[in-house]
């Protein structure tokens, strides 16, 4: 709820403090995918997988990429407020005649952001902008352990949360197509913090690795997206 209020407040602030003479408001939506640099979260899942007391454990994903969507408003061609949701994860499993063991780590992120764009190059049709973003991300990590060995069944969930602060810079390309404008962007995100704290725990418990170091969401990485702009007012 607080995040929703923050989005509305920022949107109206942008409207009020943008150039007053000509309010141009666009709705935009993008689909995104990204790659992360090596992270403590990836290493943590590898440590968990190594603790499975069986051979031939198979790991897929391991936070190598993430995907999601973006929705937001742009005012006067250069100032934007947006919300995005991205998900990433890792899974390790092994199975034989006696049963199976499966470890699943899922990371969900909800980001509120502001962007300012600077025109770099305008073509007869289309243009290229340089974008600078400020980002605040609320993350939730769900650790799930599920097993069935002979007649013994276990299923456990543990949740961790974090609040991450970051910024981004990148290139945005736009091409008008009828009443819509198709757009694509390529960004590099840099985040600070992101320590994962046990949900609903007031004792200060954090997720740590085997060395006792705190595990972070490690959201720094490359992001690309494609979507459209729909004019709402001119």
Digit-coded pLDDT (tens) for 51-88: 887 778 888 877 778 899 999 999 988 899 999 999 98
- Phi then psi dihedrals of residue 93, to 5 deg: -155, 160
Q: What is the pLDDT of residue 94?
A: 87
Cα radius of gyration rounded to whole Å, the chain? 21
Three-class secondary structure of residue 228 per DSSP: strand
pLDDT tens-digit profile of 9-29? 555 555 545 544 457 889 999
Q: What is the pLDDT of residue 6?
A: 53
Q: What is the pLDDT of residue 46?
A: 84
Q: What is the pLDDT of residue 5?
A: 45
Q: Hunting for tokens 């494609």 — which residue is that?
A: 226
d(CA 179, CA 194): 40
Q: What is the pLDDT of residue 24?
A: 85
Write the CATH number for 197. 2.40.160
- Phi then psi dihedrals of residue 92, to 5 deg: -125, 140
pLDDT tens-digit profile of 200-225? 766 668 888 888 888 888 778 899 99
Three-class secondary structure of residue 207 per DSSP: coil
**Cα–Cα distances in angstroms (integers) from residue 154 to residues 4, 22, 114, 176, in the given order:** 37, 61, 44, 54
Q: What is the pLDDT of residue 11?
A: 52
Q: What is the pLDDT of residue 2?
A: 47
d(CA 218, CA 37): 8
- Torsion (CA) 72, 62, 140, 165 in degrees, nearest 10: -60
Q: What is the pLDDT of residue 173?
A: 96
Total number of domains constituting the chain: 1
Residue 183 has pLDDT above 80, yes or no: yes
Q: What is the pLDDT of residue 38?
A: 57
Domain that holds residue 151: 2-233
pTM of the entire structure?
0.81
Average pLDDT for the chain: 84
Tokens of 131: 């974008």
Mean pLDDT, residues 94-98 taken together: 82
DSSP annotation of 7: H
- 117 pairs with which residues across the strands? 131
d(CA 46, CA 44): 5
């Amino acid at each position: 709820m607080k995040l929703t209020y923050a989005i509305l407040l920022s949107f109206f602030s942008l409207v009020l403090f943008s150039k007053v003479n000509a309010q141009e408001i666009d709705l935009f939506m993008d689909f995104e995918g990204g790659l992360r640099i090596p992270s403590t979260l990836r290493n943590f899942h590898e440590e968990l997988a190594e603790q499975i007391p069986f051979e031939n454990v198979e790991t897929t994903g391991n936070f190598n990429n993430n995907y999601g969507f973006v929705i937001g408003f742009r005012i006067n061609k250069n100032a934007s407020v947006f919300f995005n949701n991205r998900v990433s994860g890792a899974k390790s499993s092994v199975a034989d005649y006696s049963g199976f063991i499966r470890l699943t780590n899922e990371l969900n992120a909800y980001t509120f952001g502001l962007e300012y764009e600077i025109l770099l190059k305008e073509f007869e049709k289309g243009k290229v902008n340089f974008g600078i973003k400020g980002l605040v991300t609320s993350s939730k990590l769900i650790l799930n352990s599920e097993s069935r060995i002979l007649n013994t069944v276990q299923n456990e969930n543990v949740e961790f949360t974090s609040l991450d602060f970051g910024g981004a810079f990148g290139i945005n390309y736009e091409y008008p197509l009828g009443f819509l404008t198709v757009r694509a962007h390529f960004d590099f995100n840099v985040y600070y913090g992101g320590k994962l704290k046990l949900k609903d725990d007031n004792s200060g418990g954090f997720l740590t690795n085997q060395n006792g170091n705190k595990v972070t969401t490690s959201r720094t990485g490359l992001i690309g997206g494609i979507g459209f702009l729909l004019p709402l007012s001119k």
